[in-house]
Chains A and B, each alone.
Chain A
Amino acid sequence: MAALGAWGSAVAPARLSRVARALWAWRARRCLGQDAGAADGGKAAKPSFADEAVQNLLYKMTGLNLQKVFRPVKKELKPPKYKLMTEAQLEEATRKAIEEAKEKLIMPPVLNEREPIDDVLAEDKFLEGTESTKYVFTDLTYSIPHRERFIVVREPNGVLRKATWEERDRMIQIFFPKEGRRVIPPVIFKDEHLVVHHRTYDDIEKHAKYDLLRSTRHFGGMVWYLVNKKKTDGLLIDMIHRDLLDDTTSLITLYHMVHPECQSAKEAKEGKLQGVDLIKVFVKTESQKEGYIQLALQAYEEAMATSTAS
């Protein structure tokens, strides 16, 4: 049976994957540069955003609503193209669309804020007074990434220290200029914008508008933020209302992974609970809006009972 498929603007997956890879490279390099020593111990105790298990859970929760993902972007004003295809071709096209949607849903990494660099390499106090201005030395080796570049400052008082982030950015812009001053790290990573992100997530949580982000790439980041701040109740209720039990269990598993010391995590590990029991335990121990969640759970169970009965 032939079917009509209307595809609006299709974004080339190549461009997206490059962007995604660049974003991840930023994150990896920042981790390398900053907390190389502390990372191993920290990651073992507290799972980070990039762990596979965490990513899987977040991806499952994000959902894959094709209609929303390929919602026409405002700038492209081409009329939709209609193609006549057979069943097999339609399946093929759907599969390809799912792949592209997956690329689109790659989450922008959640990073820690940039800590100020304060590292003194040498102190030569007898040089005090010889010079009036400081020297900034930049390593111009082409092949090393900017994060690992040596940029040191020799102060007039003789102290040889590593350059601050602002100095680093300026020097890298001077010696390795990029168009449109792209040396300023992508907007997502600026601290002010992180704060904006947090405020957006808080606002969404207050008004319980989780569905706005559900099939977008920002869902994972939002869930990560809420889990870290322990404000997961609204999200839980929303999921139960929409009958997304799997998502609820993934959310709770994620919560246990991030906060292994909480009581429900211990109980879950002891009892190896699954599904609704896990939710009940979690609700009893951790949540603030117990009443609401119990109500929602009851409603859900009644709905299940009636649907199986009928």
Chain B
Amino acid sequence: MVQLGSRLLKSYRGGHVVIRFALGGCANRPFFRIVAAHSRRARDGKYLEQLGCLDPLPNAHGERVAGLNLERLRHWLGCGAQLSRPAEKLLGLAGFLPLHPMTVTGAERLRRRRRAQEAAADGSPGPSDAP
């Protein structure tokens, strides 16, 4: 009982509010909850408020469903919460925030890698295209 109490009534030194993903679900079946929590808390531990969810696996209609409580999100951002990188990328994709630069960079890197692979696959007879 005392251990349970100490886990729930933890007081941290420092730390700040972050909006990040908390992983849930089962084996080979992830499910993320978008959560406002203390940065020092465990990833799946006690959070301040759940602001949404994301299902990374596509459903029967081929879409990845995500829900975002924008009003509460705005409230927490107004309170000075920070965002984790995946959360920022997701909000960039959603259009709530501008697109994250790493998304753009990632896309470019992927394109470059693919082109390099195609060039390598063509081999020497084919002309090598400059990136």
Contacts and interface: CB of A to CB of B under 8 A. Distances in A.
Interface in B50-81: 52, 58, 61-72
A196 interface: no
B95 A140 contact: no
A254 interface: no
Interface residues of B, number: 26
Interface string A163-182: 00001001100110000000
Interface of A is mostly: mixed
Interface string A135-159: 1111111110000001011100000
Contacts of B110: 129-130
Contact of B68 (A124, A139, A143): A139
Contacts of B71: 141, 143
A129 B52 contact: no
Interface stretch (B19-27, B101-109, B121-129): B101-109
A273 interface: no
A160 B70 contact: no
Nearest to A160: B95
B69 A154 contact: no
A136 B69 contact: no
Contact of A139 (B61, B64, B70, B104): B70
A140 B69 contact: yes
Given A121-B95, A143-B71, A152-B94, A137 B108 contact: no
Contacts of B62: 133-134
A122 interface: yes
Contacts of A150: 70
Contacts of B64: 133-136
A127 interface: yes
Contacts of A138: 65-68
Contacts of A160: 93, 95
Most buried by A among B61, B69, B93, B108: B93
A23 B63 CA distance: 32
B108 A154 contact: no
B93 A175 contact: no
A140 B63 contact: no
18 contacts: A127-B107, A129-B111, A130-B110, A133-B63, A133-B64, A135-B63, A135-B93, A138-B66, A139-B69, A140-B52, A140-B69, A140-B70, A141-B69, A141-B70, A152-B95, A154-B93, A171-B65, A171-B67
Interface of A: 121-122, 124, 126-130, 133-143, 150, 152-154, 160, 167, 170-171, 174-175
